[in-house]
Amino acid sequence: MTGRPSSKVSSAQQDLHPKLAAVVDAHLRHAWQAPLHPPSVDAFAALQAQMGEETRTLVLDSGCGTGESTRLIARAMPDCLVIGVDKSRARLARTGAAAFPHREGNALWLRAELSTFWRLARAAGWRLRHHYLLYPNPWPKPGQLQRRWHAHPVFPELLALGGQLEMRCNWAIYAQEFAAAANRVLGTRASPRLLGESAITSPFERKYRASGHRLYSLSLSCEAGGV
């Protein structure tokens, strides 16, 4: 990643999106029926074959980019299998692997589209210990609401994977919306906090920190009711 400072997120939206609650409720009423992404279905099957009879507890690093955070999480949680998933071939190539799934010790990377991956993981009965979502694309235009993960139709499936979820971002409104949507689904009362230094970090986190951005972390248990 280059050393150029990164611009803060700018948006015409200055508060929670007025349609957020209605959108989340609609997604809860109707299970998402959109077709799965075929290459990601194949990737998930290859992952399951590679995992074999894996008995370790699972941790996901969703949208892992270059996979650096996956390595750090895997080091911090040696008893878990930590799976980094991203759709970008170019970013994943920075892991040093040429093909995916690729495993190194208790870290494993997969190239897949997340909304298909999460649905397949849910259908396969996965229960996570932790789920990291570090710096998802913010989609800051008001008209892009449903591209934000918390307003996307797959959001209930993502939460249903369970575990302790940590979402980090550099846009306060995204963090507040994510908290509001998750609380609505799960009946929790989580709220984002300012993020201090963390042993688990990522290239985007470093870039935003070096550019003087405020960083937010939302941590909540997805074990609570709801989904």
Ligand X SMILES: C[S@@+](CC[C@H](N)C(=O)[O-])C[C@H]1O[C@@H](n2cnc3c(N)ncnc32)[C@H](O)[C@@H]1O
- List residues binding ligand X (CB under 6 A): 63-65, 69, 86-88, 91, 113-115, 134-137, 202-205
CB closer to ligand X, 88 vs 221: 88
Shortest Cβ contact with ligand X: which residue? 65
CB of 111 to ligand X, least distance (A): 8
CB closer to ligand X, 118 vs 188: 118
Nearest of 223, 214, 151 to residue 9 by alpha carbon: 214
Using alpha carbons only, what angle is made at residue 60 by residues 51 and 203, rounded to the nearest 5 degrees?
120
CB of 215 to ligand X, least distance (A): 11
CB of 179 to ligand X, least distance (A): 19
Question: Residue 124 has which token pair?
Answer: 């396969």
Question: How many other CB atoms sit within 10 Å of the CB of residue 199?
Answer: 8
Bond before 101 cis per omega within 30 degrees? yes
CB of 136 to ligand X, least distance (A): 6
Angle of helix 38-51 relative to helix 114-123, nearest 10 degrees, comes to 50
CA separation for the pair 169, 138 (Å, rounded): 8
CB closer to ligand X, 64 vs 80: 64
CB closer to ligand X, 86 vs 177: 86
The sign of the dihedral angle between the CA atoms of 32, 130, 83, 177 is positive
Phi first, then psi: give them for residue 116, nearest 5 degrees.
-75, -45
CB of 130 to ligand X, least distance (A): 14
CB of 36 to ligand X, least distance (A): 13
* DSSP state, residue 164: E
CA separation for the pair 104, 85 (Å, rounded): 14
CB closer to ligand X, 187 vs 214: 214
Q: Which DSSP helix (H) or strand (E) runs through 219?
A: strand 216-221
CB closer to ligand X, 5 vs 18: 5
Query: Which residues have C-beta within 8 Å of that of residue 162, sequence separation ≥ 6?
Result: 127, 128, 131, 222, 223
CB closer to ligand X, 106 vs 202: 202
CB of 201 to ligand X, least distance (A): 8
